[in-house]
Chains A and B, each alone.
Chain A
């Protein structure tokens, strides 16, 4: 079965090698692989993370996300169960955030 992820390269931990190869369809497919169905609230986080990456070159920290969007910590964890620090960046096609918070 042809999958939108077949042509996408991932590193050993499952993060995309090239953030520029990311599309919304790729995001949907990565999310699905992680057991998440994206809804508009996920997109608030993903769009913000993509924008931060465009301007700063790396994935935003979770604190940055909760401070600058209307998604709070509790919601962030319910949107990305199993670790929003990893999952939000993965789905947004970015590397793990390097910040500690």
Chain B
């Protein structure tokens, strides 16, 4: 009953808001728990998830976020009031903790401990003037083509 072949999953994390940081992390972790090999490519705003200075300060956007209706609908104009984003972020962090999901920084460490490989997109990093030292320890810098090559034979999910 041993595994026939090792499955492989590539995740592309392109969003850096608090709500969109979790799906790639949760999927990466779930795949590792099931013994699937995991590579995660962080590109554009997704780089914030593995940016040491930013990873624990991700926010939820209240304006232009059509899903912002936790128990009642929050109209866009209301979301523009100062403090609304901070409140939304605070509420979401609380809900995430209730489900026993760790904060982003700790979650990134968790999937690394679980054996997931993390890569920062070279082009996005050049654009944002970031270097490998800005990323969490263990994350590598990689070009998109190399990542696609690395993904050969596996499944790719874009978040």
Interface of A toward B, CB cutoff 8 Å: 14, 33-35, 61-64, 72-74, 77, 81-87, 99-101
Does B1 interact with chain A (Cβ within 8 Å)?
yes
Ordered by A's residue number, 30 sampled pairs between the chains whose C-beta atoms are within 8 Å are: A14-B1, A33-B1, A34-B2, A35-B2, A61-B100, A63-B100, A63-B110, A64-B100, A72-B113, A73-B113, A73-B114, A74-B113, A77-B32, A77-B113, A81-B35, A82-B35, A83-B3, A83-B32, A83-B33, A83-B34, A83-B35, A84-B33, A85-B30, A85-B34, A85-B35, A86-B35, A87-B35, A99-B100, A101-B29, A101-B100
Give the tally of cross-chain contacts (CB within 8 A).
49
Q: A73-B113, A77-B114, A100-B30 are in contact. Are A82 and B3 (CB under 8 A)?
A: yes
A62 close to B33 (CB less than 8 A): yes
* Distance of A100 Cα from B30 Cα, bound (Å): 6
Measured CB to CB, the closest approach of chain A to B57, in angstroms, equals 22
Interface of B toward A, CB cutoff 8 Å: 1-3, 26, 29-30, 32-36, 99-102, 110, 113-115
Q: A72-B113, A73-B110, A74-B113 are in contact. Are A34 and B33 (CB under 8 A)?
A: no
- Which residues on B sit within 8 Å (CB–CB) of A84? 33
Chain A: CB-nearest residue to B101? A101
Query: Which of A14, A33, A86 contacts B33 (CB under 8 A)?
Result: A86
Measured CB to CB, the closest approach of chain B to A17, in angstroms, equals 15
- Which residues on B sit within 8 Å (CB–CB) of A74? 113
B26 close to A100 (CB less than 8 A): yes
A85 close to B33 (CB less than 8 A): yes
* Distance of A64 Cα from B33 Cα, bound (Å): 13
B113 close to A101 (CB less than 8 A): no
A34 close to B30 (CB less than 8 A): no
* Distance of A100 Cα from B32 Cα, bound (Å): 11
- Which residues on A sit within 8 Å (CB–CB) of B99? 101
Chain B: CB-nearest residue to A14? B1
